[in-house]
Structure 1
Amino acid sequence: MSGNGAPELSVRDVGDLRVAVIAAQWHEKVMDGLVEGALRALRDLGIGEPTLLRVPGSWELPVVAKTLAGRGYDAVVALGVVIRGGTPHFEYVCQGVTQGLTRVAVDTGVPVGFGLLTCDTEDQALDRAGLPGSSEDKGHEAVTAALATVAALRSVSEPGR
């Protein structure tokens, strides 16, 4: 199971954050599970009105994440799924989206929750989507990781203060 060894994150005092969730539309059942897990995590953490945007596919996640990071959001959570097919398309999309989201976080300083499933089969994606019977809830995990990163950054004082 890919979730073995995951840290138990404790996140507190983040109810004041402005958070956006961006979700691809491909693979509706998987995406519905990821979005529900992300929204549940936000509710559990006291964030009642996050922004939720749906984009055509995973490829569009980085550009929207960058735009939102530049508009004052404290964290952005990107959710998508790419399932391997018989062409190199899988590698190009996975690599491009991963590098794009990494660049957004590093260039803007806004934590980006990485909820991009890169799976060999649809069954693997469903098992990570947080649906009833799934072994993992990657939407929830992406939110928790992003907000734990915000909390870590808040704990570091700026130089000269």
Structure 2
Amino acid sequence: MSGNGAPQLTVTDAADLRVAVVAAQWHTTVMDGLLGGALRALEELGVPEHTVVRVPGSFELPVAARALALRGYDAVAALGVVIRGGTPHFDYVCQGVTQGLTQVGVDTGVPIGFGVLTCDTEEQALDRAGLAGSSEDKGHEAVTAAVATAAVLRAVPEPRA
């Protein structure tokens, strides 16, 4: 299982963070699970106000995440799913989304939680979607990672003049 060795993150004092979740719409059942996990994480972390934005597919996640980061959000979680088919399309989309979201975080300094499932089968995606019977909850993990990183960055002191 890919979740082995995951850290147990403790986040305190996150109530005043501005957090956004951007989620793709392809693969409705999987996305419902990912988004549900993300919303549970926000509640557990004590983030009462948040924004949820839906985009058509995973390829659109980076541009939406960038817009949210530039609009003052402290953390953004990007949720999507790409399932391998019979053409190289899977590879191009996965590479573009991963590089795009990485670039958004590096360029803006805003933590981007990576909740994009890149799976060979729909069964693998369902097992990671945080649904009843799933072994993992990647939507929850993506939000928790982004918020935890935002809290760490907030605590880093400014350089001395």
TM-score (norm 1): 0.98
Could you say which residue in structure 1 is the equivalent of 2:38?
38
Hey, which bits of structure 1, 4+ residues long, moved more than 6 A? none
Number of the residue aligned with 1:7: 7
How far residue 119 of structure 1 moved from its aligned partner, in angstroms, is 0.3
CA distances 1:113-136 after superposition (whole Å, capped 9, x unpaired): 100000000000000000000000
Corresponding residue for 1:123?
123
Query: Hey, what's the Cα distance between the residues in 2 that align with 1:119 and 1:108?
Result: 28
Distance across 2 between alignment mates of 1:146 and 1:67: 16
Structure 1 partner of 2:91: 91
CA RMSD in angstroms, aligned pairs only = 0.7
SS in 2 for 1:113: strand
Deviation at 1:49, TM superposition (A): 2.3
Matched, 1:59 2:59: yes
SS at match of 1:124: helix
| 1:16 matched residue in structure 2 | 16
Compute the displacement of 1:109 (Å). Answer: 0.2
**Aligned residue for 1:137?**
137
What are the Cα deviations for residues 12-56 of structure 1, in whole angstroms up to 9, with x where unaligned? Answer: 100101111000000000000000000010011111221001100
Question: Which has the larger displacement, 146-155 or 95-104?
Answer: 146-155
Distance 2:37 2:43 in 1: 10
Q: Counterparts of 1:141 and 1:112 in 2: how far apart (Å)? A: 12
How much does 1:155 deviate? 1.9
2: distance between equivalents of 1:156 and 1:47? 21
| Identical-pair percentage | 77
Please give the per-residue CA displacement for 1:91-142, whole angstroms capped at 9, x wherever unaligned: 0000000000000000000000100000000000000000000000000000
Letter in 2 for 1:124: Q
Query: In the aligned structure 2, how far is the partner of 1:91 from the partner of 1:80?
Result: 15
Distance 1:49 1:129 in 2: 23
**Hey, what does 1:108 align to over in structure 2?**
108
Provide the C-alpha distance between the structure 1 equivalents of 2:145 and 2:46, rounded to a whole number of angstroms: 15
Mapped to 1, the partners of 2:48 and 2:86 lie a distance apart of: 41
* Superposition deviation, residue 7 in structure 1: 0.7
Instruction: Count the aligned residue pairs.
Output: 161
Secondary structure at the counterpart of residue 53 of structure 2:
strand
